[in-house]
Structure 1
Amino acid sequence: WVSKVWNSVEKHKKKKFTSIIHGKYSHAETIATSSFADKYLIVLNKSQAEYVCNYILNGGSRDEFMDKFKSAHSEGFDPDLDLEQIGIANQTTMLKTETEEIGKLLERTMMRKYGPDKLNEHYQNFNTICDATQERQDAMAGLFDEKLDLMVVIGGFNSSNTTHLQEMAIENGIPSYHIDGAKRILSGNKIEHKPLGNEVKISEGWLPEGKVVVGVTSGASTPDKAVEDTINKILEMKLVVMN
């Protein structure tokens, strides 16, 4: 699926468009994607995209712009020249909803600046969201209707798509525990997990007594066996016998 993103960036390059890449500038996939572009700008989130759109419409301080994106643009990038023709691309593990919002924001901005008749001359958009990532994010959104007491997110601690699943739980007010396997569920109602944006830690009393509704999800590359083992471990802790 990453190759689909690279193909999109290649199309931007052929048309002399600047690729606006939704991703983390230090992430290996984004670094690889940007290498296929001639001109590019990397935006981390919708807030940064809004800043770019405001600059496109209203101008601003070039020095401030360059400082804000100092590690996230191609060599020789000039915001006064290189934002006239843009195309959207993304790190495939970024939040689907945010990538879509950024794409729509950029589209509206270019339409407002150049008019609907000339939109295609100034903006390109291709669907480059990974199917596996999208499926998990959609399924995760469905879990929020189940009145969960807590969420267990399984996947590598350096996995962007797993981290985004954890973010979704937190944004919906659900206690979330990011682990990389069943071995992190310890005896004595303890769990070794990675809080969002922090180092791995051990928490006690994470699994409430009595009836509890636990949501379990996993990153796109997490083996099914890791999910199965985690579910079984949780059930064992609740003294449920698997038949």
Structure 2
Amino acid sequence: MDTQAVKHAIQHSGRYNRRGFESPTQRAKALGESYQSELIASIRENNFSFQKGRLNIQLAKSFGFCWGVERAVAMAYETRRHYPKETIWMTNEIIHNPSVNNHLSRMNVKIISAKNGIKDFSSVSHGDVVILPAFGATVQEMQLLHEKECHIIDTTCPWVSKVW
């Protein structure tokens, strides 16, 4: 299989989206509303330090998600806003973070089931929306979804995609 040719065909099919649906400003605002806290903002404003009695907390200046993860999570949320009634699947957890994955589950975004490491794509129907996670998906998975005429939302971190 010529994986580059397969990926090229999928990416130019009209059912593939790697850019998302909202502007970077809208994306950052929506993500901030979900994951910002007054406590963290206060610690950052106080030289990344918080003290109460004998307790002293030092917050790392690089605290939080990397930009690739932020992008993937924001794209998953905006996918639900863009497709409010459609069935949305993910080929795996969007990122390795239970809080984020639970939030997506509450938004009725489903994870494709797997047994013994083998994913069962039989529940994915023609035309469903499928999100590829931040750490990517195999070309074989992408090809199968393309053959089912799914709308593929590729949230793969651009740095990760360089090694796929």
TM range (shorter): 0.3 to 0.5
TM-score normalised by L of structure 2: 0.45
- Taking CA–CA contacts closer than 8 Å with sequence separation of 6 or more, which of the two structures ends up with the larger relative contact order? 2
Larger Rg, first or second structure (1 or 2): 1
